[in-house]
Chain A
Amino acid sequence: MSAIHLVNIIKSYDGKTKVVEDINVEIQEGEFFVLVGPSGCGKSTMLRMIAGLEDITEGDLFINGNKATSLLPHERNLSMVFQNYALYPHMTVEKNITFGLYKQKLSKSEQKKRCDEAAEMLGLTPYLQRKPKALSGGQRQRVALARAIVTQSPICLMDEPLSNLDAKLRTKMRSELRQLQRLLGITMVYVTHDQTEAMTMADRMMILNHGQIQQVGKPLEIYNQPNNEFVATFIGAPPMNVANMKVIDHTCVLSDHITIPLPHDVDPTASYAKIGVRAEDITLASENDYLFTGEIVNVEILGTETLLTFAIDEKNQWLAKLNGQWDIQIGEKVPLSIESHHIHLFDEHGQTMFQSKKKAVSSYQVKDALPKEKLL
C-alpha cells in the first residue's frame, strides 16, 4: 500500500493561475522520496499540501489508503522539519523536542524516555537543557530532526532542511539523514532545490518545473534517461551540454567544424532540434575516433577530475569532464571525441527523441571481472 497517494492535485491561489498542476504520484511506504526543482516550481507548496498547511484546490490526497484531502494537519499523523527549523527560542532543547507530545496522551515519563532516545540517536544528550540560541546551526538542525522523530509518525516531511548549513556539514548530514530514515523505516518526503541532494539521497525523485511534473523515477534512471531538455540540464553537475543543431546526411551538424554522426539505430527522418551530451561523455580523442578540435577557454582541476571549457561556436560553450589530472593550458587546441551512442536528441520543444539505454555497473559484474581469490 502506498503511504501517500496524490490524485490530480491542483493548487491555485487566485483561481486562475495554477501553482501546481495536475499532480499524480504514489509514494511508497518506507521510501525516501525527493521533490526537486528550481525555486518557485511549486515543490514546497506540494509538501505543504501534503502536510495540510495549504488547502488542496482540486484533487485528492490519500495517506495510508485513507482520504486525507480535508483532514487537519495533526490528523494526518505526520511530522515535519522546516527549513529554518522553527525551534522555539524560549524553550530548552528538551522542551522543544517534546513540544506537543502531550497531545498524543503520553505520560511525562514516556515523553522523557522518547526525548532521551531521540537525543541519544542524534548526539544531543549534553545539550538538552540549553536554549536553541546556545547551539550551532548543525545542532539546531538535529533538534528539529529529534522533534520529528519523537512523534514516531510513519511519515516525515522535510522542507529544505539542510539549506541553512555550510557545505561540509550538509554533506555529512545528507548521509546521516539517509541512515536515520533507513533505521527508523519512515516514509520521507524531502523537498530540495539542490540536485546533488536529490541524486544522493533519493530512492525515487520527482522533478518539478512551473508546477508540472517533468519526470519521476530513480536518480540514475533520470540521470541516464531524462525525459526532456529541462531534466537533462537540471540534473547532473556539471549540467548536460546542449546545443542547437541540424541533421544532414545522418550527421548532427552543430557548427562549421563540429559534426557528430548519428547512431545507426536513430530514425534520421524524425525532427531533431537539439543535441545533448554529458560532460563525462566528451573524451580526448585518439587517432581513430577523432571528431573535432576544441579550443580550451578554461580549465578547472579538481584533483579527481579536470573540467575543460571549450567554445562550440561564438556564443556557446561546452564542458568536458576528464578523469584524473590533466595539464592542459588555456588556448590549447585539444582533439575531442564523443561516442555517438552517448548523445541525447531533443525536438524543438525540448522533448527527448532519442537516447540509448545506459545502466550502472552492478556489483556482480565487478565480481565476475575479478579473479575469485581477490574477493576473499
Chain B
Amino acid sequence: MKRKINKKRITRSSFGAGMLYLLPSILLFGIFLFYPMFKTLYLSLFWTDTQGNPVQYVGLENFMYLFESPSFMTSIKATLLFVLYTVPVGIVLALILALLANENVKGIGFFRTMFSSTIGMSVAASSVIWMLMYNPAIGIFNKILSAIHLPELQWLLDPDYALISVAISTIWMNTGFSFLILLGGLQNIDERLYENARIAGVGTWYKLRNITLPMLSPTLFFVVTVSIIGAFQSFGQIDILTGGGPMESTNVIVYAIYKDAFINYDVGLASAQAVLLFFCILFVTILQFKIGERRVHYQ
C-alpha cells in the first residue's frame, strides 16, 4: 500500500519536473505559434472589420471566394512556379559547390567560406544589392547584356522575367545554407568507402551515383524539405524587389496574404489564404516523407 502511494507521488512530481523543463518552449511556441495558428483558423471563418476583429461568422465563404478568384489562382501559379524555379536549381548548385569544396586541396578553406558566405547576409540587404544589379539603367546585368550585344531586359518590370529574376536572387541567398549542410553531409561519409572504390578502380561518375548520392540522401532530403518550405514562405525579397508586381506576376501567396491583411485590411480573407498555404505545405511535406522514406538510406 505504502509503496503504491509513493509511486504515485513520484510520478506526479516527475510530471511536474518534466513540465517545468518544457515550460520555456511551450511558452514560446504557445505565444508565437499555436495561438496565432488557432486565431488564424478562427478568423478565416469570419468577415472582419478593418481592425481585424471578427464581425460575422460566414463559414467557408472566404474559401469559396478564394477558389473562384482569378487573382488567387495567379498567386498559386506564381508560388508553384517560384518553388519550381528555386528549389531544384538551388540544390543542384549547392551540391556542385559542396562536391568541389569537399576536395582536400590547399586553400580550400577560402572557397568554403566564400560558398557559405550568403548565409550571413540578411534577405533585406541582399535584396537591395540584387535590386541594384537588376536596375535597367545602372545594373550590371544589362551592362553585361549590352557588352555582348544582346537586347537589354527590364528584369523586374517585365511580367515574363520578374518571377525568374526574383528566383535567381533567391537561389543566391539560399545557396550558402544548402551548401553548408550538404558539405557537412559529405564530410560525414566514411573515407574508407571511397578508398575501397579506388582499389576497385571505378570511375568518378560511378562513385557519385553509387556512393556519394545514396550516402548523402538523408542530408539531401533534409535540404529539399527545408528549401521547399522556405520557397513557399518567401516574402522579403518579393516585397523589396517587386512588391508582388508587375501585373501580379510575382504575387506569391505569402505576399498576397500580406497585402490582403495589411493593405486591404481584409484579415478574414488573408487568414483563409494562410490556412490554405498551411495545408498546402503540410501536404507537400507529408508527400515528401512518404516518397522520401523509400529513397533515403539512413545508416
Residues of A within 8 A of B (CB): 51-53, 72-75, 78-80, 82, 84, 86, 88-91, 99-103, 133, 147, 151
Is there an interface contact between B214 and A100, defined as CB atoms closer than 8 Å?
Answer: no
Residues of B within 8 A of A (CB): 190, 192-193, 195-202, 210-211, 214-215, 217, 297, 299
Contact of A73 among B190, B201, B211, B297 (CB under 8 A): B201
Per DSSP, chain B at the interface is helix
Is there an interface contact between A103 and B198, defined as CB atoms closer than 8 Å?
Answer: no
Chain B residues with Cβ below 8 Å from A52 are: 198-199
Measured between alpha carbons, how far is A264 from B196 in the docked complex, in Å? 57
Contact of B198 among A74, A91, A147, A151 (CB under 8 A): A74
With contact pairs A89-B297, A90-B214 given, residues A74 and B190 touching in the complex (Cβ less than 8 Å): no
Q: Output the nearest chain A residue to B298 by Cβ-Cβ distance.
A: A89
With contact pairs A90-B214, A90-B215 given, residues A82 and B200 touching in the complex (Cβ less than 8 Å): no
Is there an interface contact between A88 and B211, defined as CB atoms closer than 8 Å?
Answer: yes
Measured between alpha carbons, how far is A103 from B205 in the docked complex, in Å? 13
Chain A residues with Cβ below 8 Å from B215 are: 89-90
Is there an interface contact between A53 and B200, defined as CB atoms closer than 8 Å?
Answer: no
Chain B residues with Cβ below 8 Å from A101 are: 200
Chain A residues with Cβ below 8 Å from B197 are: 99-100
Is there an interface contact between B297 and A80, defined as CB atoms closer than 8 Å?
Answer: no
Q: Output the nearest chain A residue to B297 by Cβ-Cβ distance.
A: A90
With contact pairs A88-B211, A89-B297, A89-B299 given, residues A103 and B192 touching in the complex (Cβ less than 8 Å): no
Contact of B192 among A82, A89, A91, A133 (CB under 8 A): A82
Smallest CB separation, B202 vs chain A (Å) = 5
Measured between alpha carbons, how far is A91 from B299 in the docked complex, in Å? 11
Measured between alpha carbons, how far is A75 from B210 in the docked complex, in Å? 21
With contact pairs A53-B195, A99-B196 given, residues A86 and B190 touching in the complex (Cβ less than 8 Å): yes
Smallest CB separation, B95 vs chain A (Å) = 18
Is there an interface contact between B199 and A51, defined as CB atoms closer than 8 Å?
Answer: yes
With contact pairs A74-B201, A89-B297, A89-B299 given, residues A82 and B195 touching in the complex (Cβ less than 8 Å): yes
Is there an interface contact between B193 and A100, defined as CB atoms closer than 8 Å?
Answer: no
Is there an interface contact between B190 and A100, defined as CB atoms closer than 8 Å?
Answer: no
With contact pairs A82-B192, A86-B192, A90-B214 given, residues A99 and B299 touching in the complex (Cβ less than 8 Å): no
Is there an interface contact between B200 and A103, defined as CB atoms closer than 8 Å?
Answer: yes
Chain B residues with Cβ below 8 Å from A147 are: 196
Measured between alpha carbons, how far is A352 from B190 in the docked complex, in Å? 43
Chain B residues with Cβ below 8 Å from A102 are: 202
Measured between alpha carbons, how far is A95 from B6 in the docked complex, in Å? 57
Measured between alpha carbons, how far is A102 from B297 in the docked complex, in Å? 24
Q: Output the nearest chain A residue to B299 by Cβ-Cβ distance.
A: A89
Q: Give 7 nearest A-B pairs by CB, closest first.
A: A74-B201, A100-B200, A86-B192, A90-B297, A90-B214, A73-B198, A73-B199
Measured between alpha carbons, how far is A91 from B217 in the docked complex, in Å? 13
Chain B CB within 10 A, most for which of A75, A89, A100: A100
Chain B CB within 10 A, most for which of A72, A73, A79: A73
